[in-house]
Amino acid sequence: QGNGLWFSWDHHGCYSDRNRDTALEHMNSDLSSGHECLSQASFLIVTWGSAFVYELKKEARVVGNCHKQPAATFVKRMISIHEIKKSFIDVIERIQRINPALRVLITVSPVRHLSDGLIENNRSKAVLINAVHEIVSQMGSVYYFPAYEILLDDLRDYRFYNRDLVHPSEEAMAYIWALFQSSLMSNEAVLLSKEIMQVQKSVQHKAFHPESDQHQQFLKILYQKMLYLQNQNGIDFKREMHEIKSKLID
């Protein structure tokens, strides 16, 4: 417990709560949902950002979130290729016991961690890239998509970054996404992804007159489209459909 909140060193800060039982219920509920999802998934896509970790001094173990606790509570260090391989392979093997058909795709984020400094950032990314290639060579069900190399070596220009010169621009993301689709997705999957993206954009649409007949008809058509995609392709639109229903007058 800290700052009046109950939390877990293994969980993100969004699971924290002033009530211990509420925090625990939230954690357990999402763990259960995650277990169910992983047991049915075809692919697990993981993006690595940094090889730097924070260890609790008292327990000498890596934490998932620092929860805004004093810096003196932790030791920051760069983990080794061996540590990454050992922990990641162990996790994947445990998941594949409940889902032997699961395939894993790893990417390394091209976003620079400038707070570590440019030299340390480059060292960190090098550790991640070496680790992922060793894992891929060892596990036949694990693959690598070179998003990092595409942005830094293929595009190679700051015009493909946002104004902060750290995050990729929309143009760069579209370019990488197009390569992802062409190399890893079937034509049918590409068409389906376009339909899903169109639905998601429509859900985010803000109407000037939400009670008008025109907008209400738009919502009904959108609801039916989500229902069709969900029934035909197993796409989970429950949250979006609930949101649409809340906006319908009748």
* pLDDT tens string 89-104: 999 999 999 999 999 9
* pLDDT tens string 40-67: 999 999 999 999 999 999 888 999 888 9
Residue 58 CA, chain-centre distance (Å), reads 30
Q: Tell whether the model's pLDDT for residue 156 goes beyond 90.
A: no
Query: pTM of the predicted model, to two decimals?
Result: 0.81
Please name the residues in contact with 57: beta carbons below 8 A apart, sequence gap of 6 or more.
Answer: 72, 73, 74, 75
DSSP codes of every residue in 197-247: HHHHHHHTPPPSSTTSHHHHHHHHHHHHHHHHHHHHH----HHHHHHHHHH
Alpha-carbon distance of 235 to 237, in angstroms, equals 6
Average pLDDT value over all residues in the chain: 92
Q: What single-letter amino acid sits at 229?
A: L
Q: Tell whether the model's pLDDT for residue 181 goes beyond 80.
A: yes
Say if residues 132 and 108 touch (Cβ distance below 8 Å).
yes
Please name the residues in contact with 197: beta carbons below 8 A apart, sequence gap of 6 or more.
Answer: none
* pLDDT tens string 21-34: 999 999 999 999 99
Alpha-carbon distance of 156 to 100, in angstroms, equals 39
Q: How many CA atoms lie within 13 A of 70 on its CB side?
A: 3
